[in-house]
């Protein structure tokens, strides 16, 4: 299960050919026997369904699941009448070859434990660009790229891929969703179901880092993205990722990355 590296995505996607985002009562039966024309994300708010894949596999779909189906994949989806879903259908084109591409190296993928922040992004897409506004759906590109970015972090975090501890997964999900906030270890422990001391020990053993170090790394990673892709000034970026003191942020950024935020931006070409 591999998402294209985020930097690779930003460099190779030259055109978001089509983006359709909506919350909708789905067709009770959708037959894609000739293969879907789009890459497809489906987030399930409520209601159950069944995916029948061309290899004969049957997937039982329940609320909270996120499904990715690449372009050309053949399947039949059946849903309960009261189901509510958010679809993101899109085509991407690689810059060098000009070929249409998928973003995963696997066929249909089901994320059973969708991180809270990714689920919230789909909720925002559906809330801001419902079916009635589908003509303005291209304005949802920001959420689309945010979803890809968060998924790239989720799939590339070794402690998520290798660990099967639900309490730890909840803890990492909380850090990811609240990394711009100054939460306490007690808040994190209460959310995950650990005691504070056991949580520190478990995270340190799994990652070699403290919860605060993980949070700070997420802040710096997000700051790098903002520096490379936006025109926000350094102070605005500092606040955006959770630092009120621009001077402190700049010094900490240089300590982590090796160069100042301004130099990082210049080297990124913005």
Domain at 161-268: CATH code: 1.10.10.60
Q: Which of 46-55, 74-83, 89-98, 185-194 has the lowest mean pLDDT?
A: 89-98
* Residue 40 DSSP SS3: strand
Sequence-distant (≥ 6) Cβ neighbours of residue 270 within 8 angstroms: 227, 228, 229, 230, 231
- Domain residue spans of the chain: 16-133, 161-268
Task: Tell me the C-alpha distance between 268 and 257, whole Å.
Answer: 13
- Asked if 40 contacts 108 with a C-beta cutoff of 8 angstroms, the reply is no
* CA-based R_g, the chain, Å: 20
Task: Tell me the C-alpha distance between 169 and 100, whole Å.
Answer: 34
Residue 41 has pLDDT above 80, yes or no: yes
Instruction: Write down how long the chain is.
Output: 270
- Asked if 195 contacts 219 with a C-beta cutoff of 8 angstroms, the reply is no
**CATH architecture, range 16-133:** Sandwich (2.60)
Residue 102 has which token pair? 């998928």
pTM exceeding the 0.85 threshold for the entire prediction: no
The DSSP call for residue 3 is B
Task: Tell me the C-alpha distance between 80 and 196, whole Å.
Answer: 42
Task: Tell me the C-alpha distance between 117 and 155, whole Å.
Answer: 14
Matching residue, tokens 């799994």: 206
Task: For residues 107-119, give the mean pLDDT.
Answer: 77
Q: How confident is the model at residue 150 (pLDDT cuts 50, 70, 90)?
A: confident
Q: Quickly count: other Cβ atoms within 10 Å of residue 47's Cβ.
A: 17
Q: Which of 19-33, 59-73, 112-126, 208-222 has the lowest mean pLDDT?
A: 19-33
Residue 97 has pLDDT above 90, yes or no: no
For 91-134, what is the HEC assignment?
A: EEEECCCCCEECCECCCCEEECCCCHHHHHHHHHHHHHCCHHHH
């Amino acid at each position: 299960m591999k998402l294209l590296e985020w930097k690779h995505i930003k460099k190779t996607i030259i055109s978001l050919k089509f983006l359709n985002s909506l919350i909708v009562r789905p067709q009770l039966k959708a037959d894609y026997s000739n293969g879907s024309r789009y890459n497809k994300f489906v987030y399930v708010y409520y209601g159950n369904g069944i995916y029948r894949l061309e290899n004969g596999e049957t997937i039982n779909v329940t609320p909270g699941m996120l499904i990715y189906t690449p372009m050309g994949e053949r399947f039949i989806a059946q849903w309960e009448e009261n189901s509510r879903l958010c679809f993101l259908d899109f085509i991407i084109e690689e810059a060098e070859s000009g070929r249409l591409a998928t973003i995963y190296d696997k066929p249909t993928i089901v994320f059973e434990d969708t991180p809270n922040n990714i689920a919230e992004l789909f909720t925002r897409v559906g809330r801001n660009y419902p079916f009635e506004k589908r003509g303005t759906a291209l304005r949802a590109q920001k959420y689309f790229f945010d979803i890809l970015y968060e998924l790239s972090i989720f799939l590339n975090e070794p402690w998520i891929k290798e660990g099967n501890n639900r309490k730890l997964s909840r803890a990492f999900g909380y850090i990811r969703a609240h990394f711009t906030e100054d939460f306490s270890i007690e808040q994190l422990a209460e959310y995950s179901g650990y005691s504070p001391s056991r949580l520190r020990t478990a995270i340190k053993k799994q990652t070699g880092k403290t919860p605060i170090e993980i949070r700070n790394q997420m802040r710096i990673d997000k700051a790098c993205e903002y520096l490379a892709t936006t025109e926000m000034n350094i102070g605005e970026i500092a606040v955006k990722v959770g630092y009120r003191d621009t001077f402190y942020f700049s010094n900490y950024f240089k300590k982590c990355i090796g160069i100042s935020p301004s130099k990082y931006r210049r080297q990124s070409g913005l």
